Amino acid sequence: MKYSTTLLSSAIAMSLAFAAQAQDSVGTQATDLDAVQVVGIRASLEKSLDTKRNNTGISEAITAEDIGKFPSTNVAEALSQIPGVTLDRRFGQGERVSIDGTDPSLNLSFLDGHPVAQAIWLYGEQPSRGFDYTLLAPQILGRAEILKSSEARLTEGSLGGTVLMHTRQPLDLKVNEVAASIGYSYSDQASQGKPNAALLYSWKNAAQTFGIAVSAQHYEERVDRRGMEVFGYVPASTFANAAGDVPADADVPNSINAAWFQQDRERDSAVVNLQLKPSEALEFNLSGLYIKENFDNYNQSMYSFLTWNAGTVAAVDQLGDVRNGVINSGHSSTNAIPLGGTVIYDNNVRESEVTTKGLDLRGAFRGEGWGVKSVCRILCNRGLGYR
């Protein structure tokens, strides 16, 4: 009996030793997990809700915390976080915003209470009420609102909504607060990358009655666009000599262009805000804005005009491959270009620059149940193009 107990004890000891060895073996094979970072959004939601609660009309709002959570390259992409706002993109970058489906050219934009003018850099573009948001870096915003209903305090003329952008004020920031960001934008199409950086510094006195905030941004981007463009359509009945079982009302491309657009964008901007608040009832703000953006571009095009002369039209002897009412293929009986030519090779080197300068002085006094505001502003937006 004693001998059996010894064997049992030895077996238990061996099993425990084996289990301990197995645990040690598993422990050596364990790998470290990637860090899990949790970013709180409660503060930004509270600020946005306060803004909506204090507005008398229908509105949406985002704060600097919301803007900083996404890699936005301009204010338009930051505004796309707001419900009902969609981007109108050009060359892959958001430039204008549509509010509840309204055309972007029918929405007014304001920066610190004053309207921002539109400067044209693209050849053939016409001025409108819209604004090119690529001129504004997202780092300058402290809060952005979109008012979807009319109010007496707003300037008339905005149909879809009014965009109110507010720069960051020093008394809302910490003492000696420094914020910086560095990025790198790489274009697969152009196989090139460009750097971008932003820096903000804010200071205020101990009494929190006076403060100054200075911010500067630099952004570069390489744009490379290659594609086929169609300028208008004509009915298939235009080509009387064409054979093929196609509907007479099917559309044929009137002009086709093989385009290659290249551009180097470079934006430098700076914002200075001075805030004086000697009491809770009295406040003065002085802000300055400077933006300079380069839009130099090179456009290479080869146009084919199918219906420029009768000889080209008569030479088309077959049409086919109809897709969604559009003819995608055809045949011509001659490969010679008729007199007058229907193919144009076009090269354009355009130098374009947009400069925005603004100075804004605001004063406000809030009494018991009443208040008064005074604003003096100067804004100059100039576009120099195609030298």
Q: Which of 111-120, 127-136, 348-357 holds the top average pLDDT? A: 348-357
pLDDT tens figures, 286-344: 988 888 888 888 889 988 887 777 777 777 777 877 888 888 877 777 665 555 457 78
Where does 55-121 have alpha helices with state H?
A: 64-68, 75-79
Which among 173, 185, 189 has a CA at the least distance from the CA of 227?
189
**What is the distance, to the nearest Å, from the Cα of residue 89 to the centroid of all Cα atoms in its chain?**
8
The Cβ of residue 382 has, within 10 Å, a number of other Cβ atoms equal to 11
**What is the distance, to the nearest Å, from the Cα of residue 163 to the centroid of all Cα atoms in its chain?**
14
Round to whole Å and give the CA distance between 200 and 202.
7
Compute the average pLDDT of residues 83-99: 77
Total-model pTM: 0.67
Round to whole Å and give the CA distance between 216 and 197.
8
Domains annotated for the chain, with CATH where assigned, are 41-167 (2.170.130.10), 169-387 (no CATH)
pLDDT tens figures, 23-64: 444 455 566 666 665 555 556 566 666 666 666 667 777 777
Residue 126 phi/psi, 5-degree rounding, is: -105, 145
The Cβ of residue 343 has, within 10 Å, a number of other Cβ atoms equal to 11
Half-sphere exposure of 257 (CA within 13 A, CB side): 16
Compute the average pLDDT of residues 236-250: 75
Cβ atoms of 115 and 23 within 8 Å: the answer is no
Residue 27 phi/psi, 5-degree rounding, is: -65, -35
**Which amino acid does the sequence have at 20?**
A
What's the pLDDT at 19? 45
Round to whole Å and give the CA distance between 62 and 82.
7
Residue 172 phi/psi, 5-degree rounding, is: -90, -10
Round to whole Å and give the CA distance between 358 and 356.
7
Look at 215 and 141; give whichever has higher pLDDT.
215
Round to whole Å and give the CA distance between 96 and 107.
10
> CA-based angle 287:106:226, to the nearest 5?
95
* DSSP bridge pairs for 89: 94
Asked if pLDDT for residue 168 goes beyond 50, the answer is: yes
Round to whole Å and give the CA distance between 96 and 109.
10
Look at 188 and 279; give whichever has higher pLDDT.
279
Which among 183, 215, 211 has a CA at the least distance from the CA of 200?
215
Round to whole Å and give the CA distance between 319 and 242.
6
The tokens describing 82, both together, are 């707001």
**What is the distance, to the nearest Å, from the Cα of residue 24 to the centroid of all Cα atoms in its chain?**
54
Which among 155, 114, 121 has a CA at the least distance from the CA of 135?
121
Name the 3-class secondary structure at 228: strand
- The mean pLDDT of the chain is 77
Numbers of helices and strands, H then E, in the chain = 5, 20
Round to whole Å and give the CA distance between 285 and 205.
16
